[in-house]
Chain A
Amino acid sequence: MNVNILAAERISKRFDGFAALTDVDFILRKGERVGLIGPNGSGKSTLVNCLTGILTPDDGSITFDGADITAIPAWVRAKRGLARTYQIPRPFRGMSVQENIEVPLRFAVGHTSARTISDAAQFILHQVGLVDKAGRSPKVLTQVELRKLELGRALAAQPKVLIADEVMAGLSDSEVDEILALLTRLNAEGISILLIEHIMRAVMMFSQRIVVVVAGRKIADGLPDDVMQQDEVERAYLGE
């Protein structure tokens, strides 16, 4: 029985000479909460893009729920239960908030009845707290609300794994707590979560394990307190 829900083995990715990722190993166990930290430009987003299928790694393999997905297109990964949010929110601006949520319901989950889709969307809007904005355009949403929409869309895909890419950036303390509470609740329901974040308070509180990536390499992987005390981590992340 495979206890790893998502695993990346020796992932490397180069952009014309620039090594964005080098030999990165990464696992996420079922039901786990893992935090991924590292300075800007260290390769976190590249790793997420490789995991979700937006980019193809030059070397290495990716396994999801027991199957090799290295060559599988992004939309199939989404259907199998791998969902993500985007660092800079990317809503479908020509649709309403509810219609945004309905896209993954229709495509990732595969609902066909308009009634089912609408009801499910309403439920998700409740979960993320956007019900009163259901018919509005994403263009009028605040930053927090856009982040919630990102989460809502990811949730609508009924994911087994949720990759939350800097979903709390720029939010106030209470807003951070709101999102954190939501993520914790989702994890309690069985969703494995990879949290990529700069807000250390949130990462420390939330994560069972922390992975540190610097300059395209993984330099630490372990319990939060242990990792944060390692010399290289202090030097690379907090020091300079």
Chain B
Amino acid sequence: MNFSWDLLVNALITGIVLGGFYAATAIGITIEFGMLDIVNIAHPAFMIVGAYLAYLGWNSFGFDPFVAMVVFAPFGLFFGRAFYRAYHFFFERRGDESLQGLAFFFGVLFIIEIGLVLMFGVDYRSVPAPYAGSTLGLGLISVSWRMLIPFLVGLGMLGGIQLYLSRTFTGRTILAVAQDVEAVRLIGADPIRAKEIAFGIATASAIVAGILLIIIQPVEPSIGREYIGRTFAICVLGGMASIPGTLVAALLLRVAETLTTTFFAPSWSPAVSFGLLLVTLAFRPAGIFGR
């Protein structure tokens, strides 16, 4: 272990900045699992699809990643809604087997990952955006824009979703569904439509998160699976259905991972997220901001 204060400060800064990105990856799970109780482990695969869409956009049309976000996020919204409709028809309606639901998402996860392998191969793909190379100096610290942009966009996305959920009628219906599905029916709203829109938003956030990912680093199809443990750990640690909770939890997790990587070994990353998840479930199952 090679300790120095410089290293520590750098690790903390990196951790916080990338934590913002982690929040962007996990917000979809907070919505899907925390609020709607849908165990969508294929969510990180949707994220990787977003990364590859950005790659295609860059290669074929010269799309800057920001343009890709604007172009492809609506696609995520549309696809997410259609996907939820299918899931609801085949699984939620039946109600009795959560085994089939979990296996279904596992199958989708694999279909997407292997589909990407078939289309693009296993090599790393990247989008070398011109601004990603430079750094921002803040006094003694310098942060690369490559990481700062996802941090800022991630924060913006979380803020936007929080506003939507708390200020619009559909948004508040979604929050109500998260608490009590029957009550929503009793007031005459359609919980299924609310869930559909929520799932669409979550998928759109996955697409955007994927585009942010490819700004940070090159991607290859199997990266998605690394994020399953992370996103669920962030969701639980953050209190399941809390958006501020998701942000704080994401920062904590990424800082913990960065510290582990810097001072111990990079390979223990998945253990960190899972360890944090276990500790949370054992001692404070409601998470940090839990209800």
- Asked if A pairs with B, the answer is yes
Residues of A within 8 A of B (CB): 16, 93
B290 / chain A contacts, CB cutoff of 8 Å:
16
Q: For chains A and B in complex, what number of residue pairs have CB atoms within 8 angstroms?
A: 4
Question: In whole angstroms, how far apart are the Cα atoms of A92 and B78 in the complex?
Answer: 38
Contact flags (1/0) for B25-41 with A, using CB distance below 8 Å?
00000000000000000
B96 touches A16 (CB 8 A): no
What is the interface of chain A mostly: helix, strand, loop, or mixed?
loop
B96 / chain A contacts, CB cutoff of 8 Å:
93
Which residues of chain B from 64 to 94 have a CB within 8 Å of any chain A CB? none
Q: Say how far B98's CB is from chain A's closest CB, in angstroms.
A: 13
B167 / chain A contacts, CB cutoff of 8 Å:
none
What is the interface of chain B mostly: helix, strand, loop, or mixed?
loop
Question: In whole angstroms, how far apart are the Cα atoms of A93 and B291 in the complex?
Answer: 32
Question: In whole angstroms, how far apart are the Cα atoms of A16 and B287 in the complex?
Answer: 11
Q: Say how far A51's CB is from chain B's closest CB, in angstroms.
A: 22
B291 / chain A contacts, CB cutoff of 8 Å:
16
Q: Say how far A18's CB is from chain B's closest CB, in angstroms.
A: 9
A16 / chain B contacts, CB cutoff of 8 Å:
286, 290-291
Q: Say how far B174's CB is from chain A's closest CB, in angstroms.
A: 20
Q: Say how far A87's CB is from chain B's closest CB, in angstroms.
A: 14
Q: Say how far A88's CB is from chain B's closest CB, in angstroms.
A: 12
B286 / chain A contacts, CB cutoff of 8 Å:
16
A93 / chain B contacts, CB cutoff of 8 Å:
96
Q: Say how far A118's CB is from chain B's closest CB, in angstroms.
A: 26
Question: In whole angstroms, how far apart are the Cα atoms of A93 and B96 in the complex?
Answer: 9
Closest to A17 in B: B291
Closest to B291 in A: A16
Q: Say how far B283's CB is from chain A's closest CB, in angstroms.
A: 14
4 pairs, A vs B, C-beta closer than 8 Å: A16-B286, A16-B290, A16-B291, A93-B96
Question: In whole angstroms, how far apart are the Cα atoms of A16 and B290 in the complex?
Answer: 8
Question: In whole angstroms, how far apart are the Cα atoms of A16 and B96 in the complex?
Answer: 29
A-B pairs, 3 with minimum CB distance = A16-B291, A16-B286, A93-B96
Closest to B95 in A: A93
Q: Say how far A13's CB is from chain B's closest CB, in angstroms.
A: 14
Closest to A18 in B: B291
Which residues of chain B from 92 to 111 have a CB within 8 Å of any chain A CB? 96
Question: In whole angstroms, how far apart are the Cα atoms of A16 and B284 in the complex?
Answer: 11
Question: In whole angstroms, how far apart are the Cα atoms of A16 and B179 in the complex?
Answer: 14
Question: In whole angstroms, how far apart are the Cα atoms of A167 and B286 in the complex?
Answer: 32
Question: In whole angstroms, how far apart are the Cα atoms of A93 and B94 in the complex?
Answer: 13
Which residues of chain B from 9 to 44 have a CB within 8 Å of any chain A CB? none
Which residues of chain B from 243 to 291 have a CB within 8 Å of any chain A CB? 286, 290-291
Question: In whole angstroms, how far apart are the Cα atoms of A16 and B240 in the complex?
Answer: 13
Question: In whole angstroms, how far apart are the Cα atoms of A16 and B289 in the complex?
Answer: 10
Q: Say how far B286's CB is from chain A's closest CB, in angstroms.
A: 6
Question: In whole angstroms, how far apart are the Cα atoms of A16 and B291 in the complex?
Answer: 5
Q: Say how far A24's CB is from chain B's closest CB, in angstroms.
A: 23
Q: Say how far A55's CB is from chain B's closest CB, in angstroms.
A: 13
Question: In whole angstroms, how far apart are the Cα atoms of A16 and B242 in the complex?
Answer: 14
Question: In whole angstroms, how far apart are the Cα atoms of A112 and B290 in the complex?
Answer: 45
Q: Say how far B75's CB is from chain A's closest CB, in angstroms.
A: 38
Question: In whole angstroms, how far apart are the Cα atoms of A93 and B95 in the complex?
Answer: 12
Q: Say how far A138's CB is from chain B's closest CB, in angstroms.
A: 11
Q: Say how far A8's CB is from chain B's closest CB, in angstroms.
A: 24
Q: Say how far A134's CB is from chain B's closest CB, in angstroms.
A: 22
Closest to A15 in B: B291
Question: In whole angstroms, how far apart are the Cα atoms of A145 and B96 in the complex?
Answer: 20
